[in-house]
Structure 1
């Protein structure tokens, strides 16, 4: 961003002109919405500016980001210009305080610039661009909160009535010129003349440049159709750790093997090391090195670095599809344009609503990297990739790696347990924590803790080498593991005296399990407050459903302490600002097992290493059997006792939502996860508290409002039973029933969804069973008219389907908003077992949806042969057509589904049943050139000669189709071999197949028909032979073939007494005339009006042809009838002012006279 741009934006966004026109009476609501959104735009742009200054983005990132920011500034300028003009007009006119007097002026300002300059359109475009900006990797950590705000604002703006209707821009006086260049990513509009130049320029009142966002839109689309894996966040987290010890990992960066991998021919490098050796940190250092390196080898930007962090805790989301999608997103960050293949796949998927396959993802990666010289792919923790027999992600991922070209240089890291040969590496190297790196880390750790530094300095007064002795002892005890070194130094940091320090130093273990246990034992020795804080914090980190931020953990600990003291009931939880402790205060009490990691500008608490998790879980549960219950109670106490009054203004003030989350950060966690905690082992008293919460509609409503699941948070009138269904809290509700609590079993949200709907949507089969046992209405429909059975089929939830159907009360014919019965839903989803079950229970197989499609038609369209058989077996109608004439037989014939035709023919249905146009299944098969379907129908004795309403047979159609490009003649041969009448004539025009072939000019078809007995003398309704048709269509080769077989018809005449020579003369085809004359065509033949071919040539101004006929001996004395008067040839030629023909005539006459 150029200097001073931010100030200019701020000036324009203050938009005094905007504020001055807001008091205009009748001002369109669009202006009000634009004014309300200006602060949001300003805030987002300021974040972008700040991040650009602080993060020092790469040149690639600047090239993507700066045009978007610049475009936004230009749109702001355009908005400000419009507002200023309206303000001036308002001040000039006495009646300017009423919009009715300013509307025409606004029209005159905006219409010449186009619809894109309506104030609401400018604002909408700007916010859409800012949304793209907010999810860009450079900003998303800081701007993530903006995304939701922008999406909400965009949605609200889209509902506003336009400030000018579209019809105002549909003027016939505009000149439009549209051109498309190579990328199609811009727009040019100048005054009243609009050039829709899909290039890279936008021109309105002044010159402005607006780059396409396709490079940002495609990654956004990819992340919307897959689960974003956020490898960049993991990289950021690990680099923070690496930066705490400058120079760490240099030994590997300077190694010859890595240099050969980066700059040489080494393609696959396998790096292995034990747990805690620092593999992931070194991996991140290498990625950072590659991203920032600028040397002669790839200074032209023709390289890319992509990376993967496998994590055993994320195996469900780290599917091959999501991994490939993430890699493609990373590749698209290169400065190169989006490849045509990627653009095409994006367009196709968006148009069809489909998703790319795994192979498609790989092909897009290969396409996008085609222009790159080298691609570095770093794969961390391959041993944590899912390797079960079902997902088999590891094997499939390695197969992808094997398919990558040699330009891909791949670095794998793994623990030693994984067979390296699976990756077929070119070289293997072990990663071991280097003593120098460990010492550097320990040195920084000591210097950052004054109390520990003081102990070491005290030891140095007795032994000058005490510091070095301490560092060496820890290094030797770490066994090449950073993790052990960290735990040892943290353990030492918790000592209070030099004697205790020295004693601990002599007992350092090299066994991780012993170290973890020693850490827990040490916590037990701490003062009660520190001990309780540590145990509670470790429990939250171990058992929380997601990592907790420091502010969340602090508030959770406060509530937990208050709960244990039994003084929280009915009290008000203080704001987080009054209970915040520092990160050090929390992590220091945990003996080095907990660290704070910054993610998106928020510090989250994690175990120092994943190996600690299971050990600590077992240890913590052994220490306290009430851990689960206490955590659930803390969540519920937060939801019940947090003052939620400010949330009532959420709909009108976004700032209220943010402020509430800052004040009560744990409320958001509690709202999303209290139910999941309740499904763990809990005491009875917790269930009572949970029911109290669910029974409080107001507090439940606030909790729902802040939930992350938008399908829940956007709903209103959510009852306690809905939330119980959402989390699957069967035990809770059963206890309530046991205590005779009132249950509104069929309560409905604003979308008319019942608890039964929710239980099925969220896969809670036990809760479904409970609701059914309580007589829940199984036929209630939601806002989409879907019953619980519809939803169970969609979710492929066989148990819920069985439970619903077992009631015997389900109405199988209820239709959803698309007119789908449960049977049609099952068919569209390809659920054959469900289809059979529904049919056996009496579902109507012939029910039609809103488009008049039956279940059978859907099954046929989607290719479900087994389902088709099931439907037919249960008496689905196969003969009666739908309202648009569709039958299964006609569909099978036109689609070439010989298997379905065989099935139907065995049912003895009428294969010759015709549609309203008289077209049979055989004709449909022929029309679509389906040879196998044609053969099967003929074998089943379909009538090969049955004509349609126009008398056209299958042979007529086959001849016509064969003449199309890339059409084989198999169908034609089949028809002729099975008794097709070769001389059949259509009704009205009385065309034979030979006539049709002659019109088309296909010599091979003509030859085939003649060889099969076609009669060339057959006349159509205009008394034309096939020869007439061939000449009329100017097919010289076809004409020659017909003459070769039927030369005697060369002078045959049609109903106007015209010969083929008349036809050729009318067309001016001299080559055709020459051939016909050479074959003996009568040159002086006269039609019904007395005209010869020469007369026609003159009348049609075909001078060359007329001269040829004159020279060939045409009779020059035969008069021509023109305008009902006989005129001589000379008079005719002179009237046409054809002097060249007159000269030819004179020359012929002179020659004749001389003779």
Structure 2
């Protein structure tokens, strides 16, 4: 393409098949729209090298394999302050340019173009839809709050590792096509290890995105579970991930999510709220697809599947799931009606295609510095292999791989650098010893690869490869690239500081491992290629690694002993964050020193008791190495600061020295479970066994809290006090053990004689703590020991625990001894668990209405009453008719909780049984609900009719001080039909008739109940009900007028004015109704309030008047208020007049209007800035020009001596600087205003 003399584009005509127009967009969401324009080879335009500054050129180059025109948008190449703000401009510019280009093509040429203007309009339309997805800062903040998990990183990594063309069989399979086209279908895909389940899952997800990403009616979510990362995931984390993926493709942030964020933004929302939100968002889609990979690798899979199937029951959800062929998982899927199954396997063609591509490409993962040389060498090798040999290798590898991509990949990695045919054959022969079992096939391959690594003549490289494999296998969590580099670079020679010159290239380290180790490109996490490799190396750990945990523990100690940590803990969170960043292994070493030291405890060591031993040599044992480290106060406290930190993506909190300076070496050894180190410290002497750290806990308490049984034994044998108490709650070591569910530790302490009845300052015993925490194993152990020891001080605790867990034998024994069963709580807990025999036992032995002493005064406050869940209500809730009948036989009163439970269950028989046995139509205690309120809430016709006919008081309040009228207003949608049936009328949603009926029944609308009803209607945003209540006589409540104005309920505003509402009533932010109307630009309401006499000058907390706040952009409101004579120079607390505010917002029309009405151009705010200064600083060029034209002084200076031009310079507003500079110049030469 050329530009002609007339400026027109000149295009050389080409044959139709030679000319194509395509567009690669810069925004990831919009790239999807460009995918159909690309051939299969170039469709993955989302991946890029992190160091590739020319990535967009490369992406565009994907299109120029044929004659093409590349249109590239604005970009930030070479911009040192990179950000993402430019991208949407780049997208828009490229789209507009491409569209204009197509419009201007000559007709003769246009006929030859593959993608016509109409098609391009369609693509741009799709992009417009995609741009509706959430992308603002506030939206991203909410999405990150939902969860920080982002499976797209893993998805892209897996997809990029797929060999082009493989996996197509599953997309073409009948099972997949049926699943795709059948709503609510479940496709379960089991597969043996290494069959390619994860890669095929990524293919399925990519296919779904390709099909539906442009369709706002379809939601797509996916979850990757893996053999290490998933261990740390909770059910709530996975559900939150699903919710986040559903929310982020919405055009705007759904209201329910905004409300959830506002309510819980400082914490994680409850699981029930997460699931409820998933229901709400899922309902916005016509269909939702979810793909779950590697279910077998998630330990809580049963609970997760239960929640997933629960969502499936309520929503139009299609589920795709993979796992190993585990019967338990298959059975769970088989129970679903829409279940289908498709086995995942690697076909012969897939494996051959994969290997052929690899063999033809050869060398990968090489050192950057030698990249070209090694690439040349491997290319020569490829050229030297005859075609027949290549085919032979393909056949052999396909067979040896047993149709598994994993083995095929690793076997190829082992041969790809072989220099001769003989070497190839020798390596392949090493793979033939697998026998017939799956594990032996893997073991054969893995052993051969390990032997090949070990056989490298460069022993330094061998040592580095084995270090990498040892750390990646034995580390307690996955390491990132930089952490691994620091691990390998940490030297054992006892250097005082970390030598950064010793850092190896990460690609080198990975390449030494012959394919066993890979890096997730976006997360930078280093991991083994497959969990079967992990299993093999863990199983054969002793064969390949010498004392791995000892070695790792020593490296952690060496790293934590560098001079950078000898200054002790940091003084501020900022300094601590900086230390974490400069020392990448600091986190891991501090967190996991204890773990690796404990794992190494079985290794033989020789103790060296001399205190002057060198801390930084590997010739001494790991125990002494760690003990010496712990005795250094500054190093120990620096380690503790990292160990006890709190960290999330946006915030780091750390302990200060004063918070941890009392934690001595023995405390840390006890906390980390370092039994041998504790022995060594005690043997050295000078260690206080009963020393208390900053919270008053002894080493024994810390060991008990952490469940470090070996340390507990060491400390007790050396005379530690079993009853030592902490400062805050006087808790003993046994209490700490119980509180943290350390069952074995609790048994150990009790065996040594710990006091079972010792109470902390919260007046609870260890047994009470165990019961409250629901630690069943500890409860049974403590109950049995107390019964054996006949400890009378804790009789009540034993009875309650036995009732909760159904220990009938213990209860019988206790009751025979005359113990009181404290009936209400015991019955309630037994009823909750459906323990009929226990309930009968307690009922037979106790007077349910008696007021016997229960150890905390009389049990009146704990008697069966309406304000608490009772044995009866729990039995009703659990649908235990037998227990309900048993309790009613004992003359238990029917109360609101029981009736409410029956209503919730929609159990008519249970409702009738309870109503027949009720003793009081009110059915309420001093703090409880009323039966009538409950019946009204659930809209139960028969119950409402019966209770009113028997004299239930319609004005009686429930525990929340609500009358039936208030409840009716709050639950109008539920009760309307019932109330109209009672009036023998057809149901119509007319709240006025509902209120009329309740007034007819005696409800007091003008009194307190009417105001309560009005308040509830307001909070429910039920404007129709508010209007109805006001018309029927309810008196306006405080804050009602500002509320009505805020939501633009003009009819309600007029009603309130007619009812005499206070026009200057304010909301919680001290805003009047007029202020809010001016803020929102509601001109009609502004006029109504002003005509009614609202104060024109009433300001909010920050001193803004209605005129000032409307100057932000509501020209018509400003004009009306000025006509009414408001003060134009009133300043807010920052000293700003309305003109300042209009100038700051760049509202030229309002600026002009204010000036016309006499606004002062040279008014000064608290910083001595003028309106012109503010406009210049905020980059509003047109406003600056307007103010200067109106006579504003452009040389005025603020408190810091800065002129408007200098303020604009500081913000980078070059156009304004140029304009003001020109003004100065023109005046200097006598051509401008003076």
Using the size of structure 1 for normalisation, the TM-score is: 0.53
* Corresponding position of 2:715: 771
**1:381 paired residue among 294, 300, 303:** 294
Q: Is the aligned partner of 1:431 residue 2:345? A: yes
**Residue aligned with 2:476, SS:** coil
What are the residue-to-residue correspondences of 1:927-1076 with 2, within 5 Å?
968=915, 970-972=917-919
**2:732 paired residue among 778, 787, 795:** 787
* Corresponding position of 1:665: 584
Whole-Å Cα distance in 2 between the matches of residues 274 and 401 of structure 1? 28
Q: 1:812 offset after TM fit, Å?
A: 3.4
Contact 1:280 1:380 in 2 (8 A): yes
What are the residue-to-residue correspondences of 1:480-499 with 2, within 5 Å?
480-496=403-419
Q: 1:692 offset after TM fit, Å?
A: 0.9
Inter-CA distance 702–60: structure 2 relative to 1 (3 Å threshold) = farther
Contact 2:706 2:737 in 1 (8 A): no
Q: 1:326 offset after TM fit, Å?
A: 4.5
Whole-Å Cα distance in 2 between the matches of residues 322 and 538 of structure 1? 30
Q: 1:554 offset after TM fit, Å?
A: 2.6
Whole-Å Cα distance in 1 between the matches of residues 136 and 391 of structure 2? 57
* Corresponding position of 1:238: 158
Whole-Å Cα distance in 2 between the matches of residues 922 and 745 of structure 1? 44
CA deviation digits over 1:1113-1133, x for unaligned, max 9?
xxxxxxxxxxxxxxxxxxxxx
Whole-Å Cα distance in 2 between the matches of residues 271 and 398 of structure 1? 19
What are the residue-to-residue correspondences of 1:482-631 with 2, within 5 Å?
482-496=405-419, 500=423, 504=427, 511-526=441-456, 527-559=458-490, 562-563=491-492, 568-569=493-494, 571-575=495-499, 577-598=500-521, 600=523, 603-619=524-540, 621-631=542-552
Q: Is the aligned partner of 1:641 residue 2:556? A: no
Q: How many residues are matched?
A: 734
Contact 2:228 2:478 in 1 (8 A): no
Contact 2:510 2:517 in 1 (8 A): yes
CA deviation digits over 1:57-90, x for unaligned, max 9?
99999767544449xxxxxxxxxxxxxxxxxxxx
Q: 1:631 offset after TM fit, Å?
A: 2.5
What are the residue-to-residue correspondences of 1:655-1054 with 2, within 5 Å?
656-680=575-599, 681-684=602-605, 685-707=621-643, 710=646, 714=655, 716-717=660-661, 718-737=663-682, 739-777=683-721, 778-808=723-753, 810=755, 812-816=757-761, 818-822=762-766, 824-829=768-773, 831=779, 834-835=782-783, 837-838=785-786, 845=793, 903=842, 906=845, 911=850, 968=915, 970-972=917-919
**1:454 paired residue among 376, 392, 416:** 376
Whole-Å Cα distance in 2 between the matches of residues 919 and 454 of structure 1? 88
Whole-Å Cα distance in 2 between the matches of residues 423 and 307 of structure 1? 18
Contact 1:377 1:411 in 2 (8 A): yes
CA deviation digits over 1:612-631, x for unaligned, max 9?
22333455522454333322
**Residue aligned with 1:283, SS:** helix
Contact 2:553 2:593 in 1 (8 A): yes
Q: Is the aligned partner of 1:306 residue 2:306? A: no
Q: 1:537 offset after TM fit, Å?
A: 1.9
Contact 1:235 1:284 in 2 (8 A): yes
Contact 2:768 2:797 in 1 (8 A): yes
Inter-CA distance 252–743: structure 2 relative to 1 (3 Å threshold) = same
Q: Which has the higher mean CA deviation after the structures are superposed, 796-805 or 250-259? A: 250-259
Inter-CA distance 838–372: structure 2 relative to 1 (3 Å threshold) = same
Q: 1:376 offset after TM fit, Å?
A: 1.3
Q: 1:703 offset after TM fit, Å?
A: 0.9
**2:186 paired residue among 268, 280, 300:** 268
What are the residue-to-residue correspondences of 1:240-389 with 2, within 5 Å?
240-242=160-162, 245=163, 249-250=167-168, 252-253=170-171, 257-264=175-182, 267-294=185-212, 299-313=214-228, 317=232, 323-324=238-239, 326-335=241-250, 356=271, 365-384=278-297, 386=299
Contact 1:890 1:924 in 2 (8 A): no
**Residue aligned with 1:606, SS:** strand
**Residue aligned with 1:446, SS:** coil
Inter-CA distance 238–266: structure 2 relative to 1 (3 Å threshold) = same
CA deviation digits over 1:75-128, x for unaligned, max 9?
xxxxxxxxxxxxxxxxxxxxxxxxxxxxxxxxxxxxxxxxxxxxxxxxxxxxxx
CA deviation digits over 1:25-50, x for unaligned, max 9?
xxxxxxxxxxxxxxxxxxxx987869
Whole-Å Cα distance in 2 between the matches of residues 572 and 912 of structure 1? 73
**Residue aligned with 1:643, SS:** helix
Whole-Å Cα distance in 2 between the matches of residues 265 and 933 of structure 1? 43
Consecutive unaligned residues in structure 2, runs of 5 or more: 1-25, 28-80, 93-125, 367-371, 435-440, 606-620, 648-652, 874-881, 894-910, 923-945, 953-998, 1002-1234
Using the size of structure 2 for normalisation, the TM-score is: 0.50
Contact 2:805 2:830 in 1 (8 A): no
Whole-Å Cα distance in 1 between the matches of residues 364 and 835 of structure 2? 79
Contact 1:889 1:921 in 2 (8 A): no
Whole-Å Cα distance in 2 between the matches of residues 642 and 376 of structure 1? 54
* Corresponding position of 2:572: 652
Q: 1:699 offset after TM fit, Å?
A: 0.7
CA RMSD between the two structures: 5.8
Q: 1:924 offset after TM fit, Å?
A: 7.7
Contact 2:231 2:298 in 1 (8 A): no
Contact 2:175 2:340 in 1 (8 A): no
Q: 1:551 offset after TM fit, Å?
A: 2.5
Contact 2:189 2:343 in 1 (8 A): yes
Q: 1:487 offset after TM fit, Å?
A: 2.0
Whole-Å Cα distance in 2 between the matches of residues 922 and 726 of structure 1? 40
Whole-Å Cα distance in 2 between the matches of residues 671 and 521 of structure 1? 34
Whole-Å Cα distance in 2 between the matches of residues 290 and 232 of structure 1? 14
**Residue aligned with 1:767, SS:** helix
Q: Which has the larger radius of gyration?
A: 1
CA deviation digits over 1:940-978, x for unaligned, max 9?
8999xxxxxxxxxxxxxxxxxxxx999835344999xxx
Contact 2:803 2:826 in 1 (8 A): no
Contact 1:705 1:713 in 2 (8 A): yes
**Residue aligned with 1:590, SS:** coil
Inter-CA distance 635–318: structure 2 relative to 1 (3 Å threshold) = closer
**Residue aligned with 1:679, SS:** helix
Contact 1:539 1:617 in 2 (8 A): no
Inter-CA distance 51–592: structure 2 relative to 1 (3 Å threshold) = farther
CA deviation digits over 1:195-234, x for unaligned, max 9?
xxxxxxxxxxxxxxxxxxxxx5xx35xx9xxxx7x65553
CA deviation digits over 1:737-785, x for unaligned, max 9?
4x44443222222222222222222222332233223332323124344
CA deviation digits over 1:480-501, x for unaligned, max 9?
4332333233223444567646
- Higher RCO, 1 or 2 (CA under 8 Å, sep at least 6)? 1
Contact 1:320 1:393 in 2 (8 A): no
Q: 1:801 offset after TM fit, Å?
A: 3.1
Contact 1:786 1:815 in 2 (8 A): yes
Q: 1:346 offset after TM fit, Å?
A: 10
**Residue aligned with 2:634, SS:** helix
Whole-Å Cα distance in 2 between the matches of residues 473 and 585 of structure 1? 31
Inter-CA distance 546–922: structure 2 relative to 1 (3 Å threshold) = closer
Whole-Å Cα distance in 2 between the matches of residues 293 and 443 of structure 1? 32
Q: 1:347 offset after TM fit, Å?
A: 11
Q: Which has the higher mean CA deviation after the structures are superposed, 964-973 or 419-428? A: 964-973
CA deviation digits over 1:652-672, x for unaligned, max 9?
362x43443344322322211
**Residue aligned with 1:426, SS:** strand
* Corresponding position of 1:632: 553
Inter-CA distance 51–499: structure 2 relative to 1 (3 Å threshold) = farther
Contact 1:846 1:877 in 2 (8 A): no
